[in-house]
Chain A
Amino acid sequence: MSSLELAKSIPAKGGKSVLFQEGHKYPGKLFIVEGIDGSGKSTQIRLLHSWLEAQGFPVFMTEWNSSEVVKKTTKEGKKKKTLTPTTFSLLHATDFADRLFYQILPPLQAGMIVLADRYVFTAFARDVVRGVHPAWVRKVYGFAIKPDLAFYFKTPLQVAIDRILSGRPKLKYYEAGMDLDLSNKPEESFKIFQGMILKEYDRIVDEFGLSVIDATEAIEEQQRIVRLRVQEQLEGFTTKRRNYAKRNKVFWRRFAIPENRRP
């Protein structure tokens, strides 16, 4: 059975996934961005970050695959090329769990805005392309919370590929999807791989109702729409930072012991 056929057997309620039936109950807000490599989502989330901070909102940002617990293991597995679709998927789930409980939930509980560069949908797209069962990977992430707003930066394949290949001299093994045996040439493999992920994302957009942004538009135009939609979500959200952490004007700090004389 192909992963596409398998995907049709996902248990669904009224056409929608059983995951994320309910929103979270925390006082903070969670906004996430999704899209294939080269879609420009990271640029957009950074712009959003600056804008929110400038308005005085306390913002916390977290990135996919950045937790310390599995960092070395993932790196080693990638280097030795021993990762299988299932271990690849589970390692990312472990990373996500660690970040969810230590980086995402505490700020949300504290009423902050959390921005996530990639969320569970990245796993749903990539891991299914690698061959794991679509229903299984959704169940693995069953502990995830529903974002308040999830942007999907829709990019035609060729645009994304041109952006990536012009900026990166050499594609990495897993990044290019070389583990899937699509092609011997990294560039060719990368193209096929990203094309498959793109198709998977299209289904995810429908399944989870992601907010689609046309990533071929000018950066500032995309950002305008992003901010508009975020603004709607922030209606009635008043948690702002009252005082800035600029303590360098406090007099006693002038007498602090210089770095090199500290015990």
Chain B
Amino acid sequence: MSRPGFVLEVDDRTPPLLVHEGLGFRMEDFLLGTRVVYPPEPIGGVPDVEGAIREALLHPVECEPLPELLKAGMRLTIAFDDVSLTLPTMRAPDIRQRIIEQVLTMAADAGVDDVALISANAFHRRLTPKELEHIVGERVFRSFYGQGLLTNHDAEDHDNLTFLGKTEKDEHVVTNKRAAESDLLVYVNVTLVSMEGGHKSVGVGLSSYRSLRHHHNNETMVNSRSFMDHKNSELHASAWRMGRLIGEHVKVFQIETSVDNNVFPKPYNFLMKREWEWSIRDQASMLGVRRGLAVAPQRMRHKIFHDLRAPYGMTGINAGAVEPVHELTIAKVHEQQLVEVQGQTDVLVLGVPYLGPYNVNSSMNPVLATCMGLGYYFNSYRGQPVVRRGGAVILYHPLDEGFNQLHHPSYVDFYEEVLAESTDPAVVGQKYEAQFAEDPWYIHLYRTSHAYHGVHPFYMWYWAAHAMDHVDDVIWVGGNRRAAARMGFRSASTLLDALEMASDTVGPSPSITYLHNPPHLIADVR
């Protein structure tokens, strides 16, 4: 029986608490009275995954069973979430593989020959063959990849994009031509956090800049309270309008899954346990890992962490019409991640781990670290932000991993050139976004190499826009001073130093709340 998340108040018996900071972690002594929000323990996956998948496909929500939708001679497209999910990468077999295999089996039984699989990566980097194989499995990969039927979506391949029309808010809706011209579009999703899934799957994953610019911008993100709560998110409202319009053109059979909080395999599972409950073995593991990381060169630490494969359990699967399916998915995600928190805090403390959606098999550069901390973690709330308006956020990350030239070439220019001029998301967006979005070199690298699209760093910066608008101070503990300053933040050596620095903003005795993640949690702030 898993235990729900809870809020601990640090007292004199509380041991040092684990805080993630990039390719490592530290044991931090929090001040007395600090609130520590722990995520619920893993609620456990369904025991019979194959059976649950079959059940979902045969008894979908507000939709005909999948076999009834499959007809000989039809054109079927299966799109799936890309490598940005799950985090860490799921231990094989990936849920998407299991689902796709069953969908293909049903398609084969129905005599469907025209089948294509598309990674819905939007402006994310193209997946490598190995990454595609990990998601869809060896058999599917072998059958489709060589024939060119397993591909990455190319948001700059204008010959293979279709303009479907405009929403009632005048938003252009562009989607993958193959998907739009299919008789049935099956979307295979993994909802790791509540931002994902729903109409965002097809509406964003298979779109182009012409569509993305309507909701991936500063104004939308500032007005999304938060983007982890799709009913109060401008981002999602726009994606929903687009998704409904897409639904008028192509039948979408949405398959959504949710996973539990079982993110770290042994012997790293102490990372998701409550510190005072660590067994002798957990403590030994912690000490061993900590010592090992302290002496390991950065490249080895990178490998240690990025080779981790999460033993996720699938907590739920629902298929059918997009919107009712998504409501069921979100309920399951909330069951796993929601923690009730009473009232806001003056200072929010966050540990930024080694991994985010955009540095899988890559490096967490300062812009991505900001996106992870001030974007994903800050926005992991329902109701109101954990920190009060005008408060301070203290983040832990060394900001020292540099930039991956293969994956993030435009990030370097964004960091060196754009942030040197202004860190205001609105200002940089207005002046530079179009330049980066239309830069032929970035487009070339996105299409032919494994680079994120040129405009992607702007989106990461917008992701943090709500936080930057909401708080008055952002301080990185252990962060590279130059990197922090470049981004308009400050850095401190220790938590106490950071609190001292923040005292100008929040006073000498602020209330402090530490969100103890990962695993992921959503603070339901009352």
A pairs with B: no
Question: Could you list which residues of chain A lie within 8 angstroms of chain B, going by C-beta atoms?
Answer: none
Question: Could you list which residues of chain B lie within 8 angstroms of chain A, going by C-beta atoms?
Answer: none
